[in-house]
Structure 1
Amino acid sequence: MAETRAWKLLLPRQLRHLPADLAGVIGVVILTNLAALLPVVSDTPVRIVAGLVFVLFIPGYAFIAALFPEAGSGPTADEENGTNPQADGIDGIERTALSFGLSIALVPLVGLVLNFTPWGIRLLPILVSLSGLTLVLTAVAAVRRWALPADERFRVPYRTWLSAGRDELFSPASRTDAVLNVLLVLSILLAAASVGYAITVPKDGERFSEFYLLTEDEDGELVADGYPTEFRQGEGRSLIVGIGNQEHERTEYTVVAELQRVERVGNETQVRERSELRRFQPTLGHNETWQRQHEVTPGMTGDRLRLQYLLYRGSPPATVDQSTAYREVHLWVNVTG
């Protein structure tokens, strides 16, 4: 006990007297920032758990703590008569429910404001904004709570809860209570294990790869529009080739770009002449995106030539055509001499 008090004396007075629930809010803010930014922790379930608590509960709790620094209780006869000194406060259930509701309201508002700033809706701006807002509200809540008499301040009776829980678990009033306590503990452990398993071993969704072509507009933005269709032999025009890996594993790709002279025979399109323009061989992890500029310089001339990009997972086979490709995109172009 003496050692515990000794290290507390090293803290500033405001922190030493900070209410336990507000100290917990600051702790969750720090934990979430570390879990989201530290490379060692950012890929673990800790980031998901801390992030959910931070987004869905903490900002609202800090806001409610700032609005209602006084203790509260459920409706009583004294409250109806106006003689209850805690009538202006709210009880724990109301405080918890409002915390969830206000968090769900505050977080989108922060995102909306960020959307109109140069930083945009990204991880770091969201972390900084929500953390800053929560810490400011926590400071206001602490100041307002300190301004009240000690017996009117809201406090979380965690020592009472722990004592009551310990007595209920280890000193049950009857054998029936003991059996119910064991069942309750087993149910909580089972629920926690189920949630932990769902977080740590997520079910794989559909496996696929995105494959697309883009162009650059006048503002330098990449768009799926305005593709070049008129070329001159030997003169290059740019396209952007893109791949998105949603295969749930690291994947090696090969992209083959060809210019083809094709002929329609019945219901089939047959290639009469082909010219390979370039190959790309990127390797992507799951959920990674790859984009490269391709300067298309046609060597053959003609109308309605097919500029085709073929995507393969791994190395392509000896026969490179649409029937062997994993994905395919193409443009119809005209090339003059």
Structure 2
Amino acid sequence: MTRGRGLWLMVPKQFRDLPADLATVLAVVAVTNLTVFLPVVNETPLRIIVGLAFVLFIPGYAFIAALFPEAGEAPTSDGELEGEGSVGADEDAAEVEGQLRDRGIDGIERVALSFGLSIAIVPLIGLTLNFTPFGIRLVPILVSLSGFTVVATAIAAQRRWDLPEDERFRVPYRDWYAAGKSELFDPESTVDAVLNVALAVAMLLAISSVVYAVAVPPQGEQFTEFYILTEDDDGELVADNYPQELVAGEPQPLHVGIENNEYEEIDYTVVVQLQQVEGEGNESTVVNRAEVDRWSTTLSHNQSEIEQREFVVDDSTAADFEGEDRRLAFLLYDGAPPTQPTRENSYRNLHLWVNVTTADNGS
């Protein structure tokens, strides 16, 4: 007995007897979880490719396998049904329907239903999660789908084992392999050989195109979202009720949000300045400025972050800027900011109009 054979016999009998298609389903579940949770692999296109196959086909296939463990036959015309011949007066439609029902489903129907049921099962699981504390997030959805698929696969395997061996559904992959090998390496004519090569090349090109389209999606508009929010009485973040007063020594909480849609990782820096402005509109000029806060963050593409900050001006700054219509400017930079940050050299900028008072006047 070879070493490999000995190791195989150490595997529990239930796994050794597992049908090849159901074993493949469990393998795809395992690979999908690995591509999501492994630190390096989850940043590669493999995660998208395996994830699409898992979401669009695997749950539905496992469910169909549990419902229909028996081998099926292709649909036939009425004349080819059991008891071939015209349906007499003593035969009703129920008998014909029974014959159609007893034939099970064939491979093509099984594949089609697998796609359709997967598209139905995934949203239903997501809807269920929406009413739980877990919510619709990646990890809960993946764990739920994986659990559903494993349970359905176990039921499908048990139901097949309960059937006589000649009635069980099985994927004839050995027959497919033998037929494909014969067509490729032992064609009946030169024309068949040329057509086989052309078909193989066409399939490779099609698969390569799909993989490239998934791995390197076309880039849309590149931009960064930059916004300011406040917290209402219910604890919700809203774009309303912004502070209108800055009193020396009294912190003003604000939530500053950044969302990266640049199709690359960006190192952002936010500089917050208190500015005294003269003039109006396009004719306005900053005559005095003081930095109030500064922080940096790194975001990947399609990643967002909302930073809660408290802005405080000291007594000296409040005395210098005391007055109405002072501008609290938020300057966003892609990378390190220049020595003198201004609205003109910033990547994105926002501002709030505030009145600045010293501690004595504020009281």
2: CA distance between counterparts of 1:129 and 1:175?
52
1: CA distance between counterparts of 2:138 and 2:282?
50
Q: Which amino acid is 2:16 matched to?
A: R
Question: Structure 1 residues 267, 41: CA separation in 2 closer, same or farther (over 3 Å shift)?
Answer: closer
Map 1:235-250; keep pairs closer than 5 Å: 235-250=250-265
Match of 1:62 in 2: 62
Q: Does 1:15 align with 2:15?
A: yes
Q: Secondary structure at the match of 1:324?
A: coil
* From 137, 145, 150, the counterpart of 2:160: 145
In the alignment of these two chains, the number of paired residues is 337
Map 1:180-191; keep pairs closer than 5 Å: 180-191=195-206
2: CA distance between counterparts of 1:177 and 1:333?
81
Report if aligned partners of 1:73, 1:86 keep a CA contact under 8 Å in 2. no
1: CA distance between counterparts of 2:57 and 2:35?
17
2: CA distance between counterparts of 1:280 and 1:303?
27
Deviates more, 1:318-327 or 1:113-122: 318-327
Report if aligned partners of 1:86, 1:152 keep a CA contact under 8 Å in 2. no
Q: Shift of the alpha carbon at 1:304?
A: 2.7
Report if aligned partners of 1:311, 1:327 keep a CA contact under 8 Å in 2. yes
Match of 1:296 in 2: 311
Q: Shift of the alpha carbon at 1:276?
A: 2.5
Q: Does 1:281 align with 2:284?
A: no
Q: Shift of the alpha carbon at 1:89?
A: 0.7
1: CA distance between counterparts of 2:336 and 2:75?
73
Match of 1:252 in 2: 267
Q: Which amino acid is 1:243 matched to?
A: I
2: CA distance between counterparts of 1:80 and 1:110?
44
* From 328, 336, 341, the counterpart of 1:315: 336
Q: Secondary structure at the match of 1:119?
A: coil
Report if aligned partners of 1:262, 1:305 keep a CA contact under 8 Å in 2. yes
Q: Secondary structure at the match of 2:39?
A: coil
Q: Kindly provide the CA deviation profile for residues 124-148 of structure 1, in whole angstroms up to 9, marking residues without a partner as x.
A: 2111100110011111111111111
Match of 1:40 in 2: 40
Q: Secondary structure at the match of 2:41?
A: coil
2: CA distance between counterparts of 1:144 and 1:101?
22
Map 1:4-153; keep pairs closer than 5 Å: 5-76=5-76, 77-79=80-82, 87-153=102-168
Q: Kindly provide the CA deviation profile for residues 141-188 of structure 1, in whole angstroms up to 9, marking residues without a partner as x.
A: 111111112111111111111111111111111111110000011111
Q: Secondary structure at the match of 2:75?
A: coil
Match of 1:334 in 2: 355
Q: Which amino acid is 2:127 matched to?
A: L
For the aligned residue pairs, the C-alpha RMSD in angstroms reads 2.5
Q: Secondary structure at the match of 2:246?
A: strand
Q: Which amino acid is 1:12 matched to?
A: P
Q: Which amino acid is 2:325 matched to?
A: R
Question: 4+ residue runs of structure 1 moved beyond 6 angstroms?
Answer: 83-86
2: CA distance between counterparts of 1:266 and 1:70?
77
Question: Structure 1 residues 66, 80: CA separation in 2 closer, same or farther (over 3 Å shift)?
Answer: farther
Report if aligned partners of 2:68, 2:105 keep a CA contact under 8 Å in 1. yes
1: CA distance between counterparts of 2:281 and 2:270?
29
Question: Structure 1 residues 194, 266: CA separation in 2 closer, same or farther (over 3 Å shift)?
Answer: closer
Q: Shift of the alpha carbon at 1:256?
A: 1.9
What percent identity do the matched residue pairs reach?
A: 59
Q: Secondary structure at the match of 1:27?
A: helix
Report if aligned partners of 1:70, 1:86 keep a CA contact under 8 Å in 2. no
Q: Shift of the alpha carbon at 1:255?
A: 1.9
Q: Kindly provide the CA deviation profile for residues 302-327 of structure 1, in whole angstroms up to 9, marking residues without a partner as x.
A: 23322111112233335532222210
1: CA distance between counterparts of 2:59 and 2:83?
31
Map 1:188-203; keep pairs closer than 5 Å: 188-203=203-218
In structure 2, stretches of 5+ residues that fail to align are: 85-95
Match of 1:161 in 2: 176
Q: Which amino acid is 1:303 matched to?
A: E
Which structure: larger Rg? Answer: 2
Q: Secondary structure at the match of 2:284?
A: strand
